[in-house]
């Protein structure tokens, strides 16, 4: 059986494609306010592994999602310029695509991403070191710093495992004993959307996958090396978690040619709540590769 992500599409006859990648624990219904707006583009609204209508024999992972999206681009969208738009873990998947397959992507826009540096990036700026000008003292310092980083990473991984175990216990002892409607209302509040989206969320929510998806989120670290991809826009809402704001800075540090834009009083799924503003930003950046109203 072919392993392929489920997606719906509009405007297949158009020469440029936009792939919309949803946030975690959701599916392509979150793009309902974007449908029928980008009429000059071939729009693809996909469901990630273990989300929505994608039912394939494959574990959810950022790596697996990246490879399947790459397959869509290279097989289904041959000879088309491809633009990517992603929220949350969809944005992380785009970042990973830009590191692995930058040549197949024309433009990328990410919003509400929550990720971390590798520990060595937080302590020591390896990107700005000229290896031909390092002294023996510099090399000794790097070795020492690297050893410290390994210890910190091991400690962080241990804490992540402890957190994941706590989440598993919470699911078993509390969430599994609650009616599904209780959990759905909790996610509606988390994402800041109204009860009119209750049924869509109920159909796309697979709580059994929550731990695995959370693990992918927590363990992902942006690659250390700089990336010269220039057509990247990083968005975040001023009412999102502080970690999201910090993540925007981390991404910009790794993509020095990118642009960052903050959305006043926006929350995670602002593409639904303030969709006119969202759509205008997307279309402007895809066409001009910059925000004229910035």
The residues near 22 (Cβ < 8 Å, ≥ 6 apart) are: 28, 30, 31, 46, 47, 48, 51, 52, 86, 87, 88, 90
Q: Model pTM?
A: 0.89
170: confidence class by pLDDT, cuts 50, 70, 90:
confident
pLDDT band at 194 (very low <50, low <70, confident <90, very high): confident
State residue 122's pLDDT score. 63
pLDDT exceeds 80 at position 288: yes
pLDDT at 131: 42
Instruction: Name all contacts of 166-171 with Cβ < 8 Å and 24+ positions apart.
Output: 167/210, 167/211, 167/214, 168/211, 171/207, 171/210, 171/211
Give all strands (DSSP E) within 52-113, no chain letters: 81-87, 107-111
Q: Are 191 and 266 in contact (CB under 8 A)?
A: no
The tokens describing 239, both together, are 């009412």
What domains can be seen in the chain, in order of their start residue?
Answer: 7-116+221-288 (3.40.50.1820), 121-214 (no CATH)
Give me 27's structure tokens: 């599916």
Q: How far apart are CA 110 and CA 166, in angstroms?
A: 30
**What is the token pair recorded at 186?**
């909790």
Residue 125 has pLDDT above 70, yes or no: no
> Could you tell me which of 126, 210, 110 has the C-alpha nearest to residue 170?
210
- Segment 237-246 shows an average pLDDT of 93
Q: What is the per-residue pLDDT for 139?
A: 44
Edge-to-edge strand list for the sheet holding 42-46: 7-10, 42-46, 16-21, 81-87, 107-111, 232-237, 259-263
- pLDDT, one tens digit per residue, over 58-92 is 989 999 999 999 999 999 999 999 999 999 999 99
Phi then psi for residue 27, to 5 deg, are -160, -165
């Amino acid at each position: 059986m072919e392993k392929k992500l489920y997606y719906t599409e509009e405007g297949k006859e158009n020469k440029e494609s936009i792939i919309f990648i949803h946030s975690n624990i959701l599916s392509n219904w979150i793009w309902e306010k974007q449908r029928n707006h980008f009429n000059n583009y071939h729009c693809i609204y996909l469901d990630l592994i273990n989300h929505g209508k994608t039912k394939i024999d494959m574990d959810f992972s950022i790596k697996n999602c990246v490879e399947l999206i790459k397959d869509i681009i290279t097989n289904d969208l041959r000879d088309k310029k491809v633009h990517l738009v992603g929220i949350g873990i969809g944005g992380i998947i785009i970042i990973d695509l830009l590191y692995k397959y930058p040549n197949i992507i024309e433009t990328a826009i990410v919003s509400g991403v929550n990720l971390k540096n590798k520990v060595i990036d937080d302590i020591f700026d390896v990107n700005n070191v000229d290896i031909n000008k390092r002294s023996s003292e510099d090399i000794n310092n790097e070795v020492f710093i690297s050893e410290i980083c390994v210890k910190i990473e091991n400690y962080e991984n241990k804490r992540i495992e402890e957190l994941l175990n706590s989440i598993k216990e919470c699911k078993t002892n509390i969430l599994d004993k609650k009616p599904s409607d209780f959990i759905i209302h909790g996610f509606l509040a988390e994402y800041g959307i109204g009860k009119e989206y209750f049924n869509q969320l109920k159909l796309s929510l697979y709580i059994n996958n929550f731990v695995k998806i959370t693990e992918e989120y927590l363990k992902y670290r942006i690659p250390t090396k700089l990336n010269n991809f220039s057509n990247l826009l990083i968005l975040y809402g001023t009412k999102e978690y502080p970690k999201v704001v910090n993540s925007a800075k981390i991404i910009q540090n790794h993509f020095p040619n990118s642009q960052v834009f903050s959305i006043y009083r926006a929350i995670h799924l602002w593409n639904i709540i303030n969709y006119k503003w969202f759509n205008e930003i997307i279309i402007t950046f895809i066409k001009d590769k910059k925000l004229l109203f910035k």
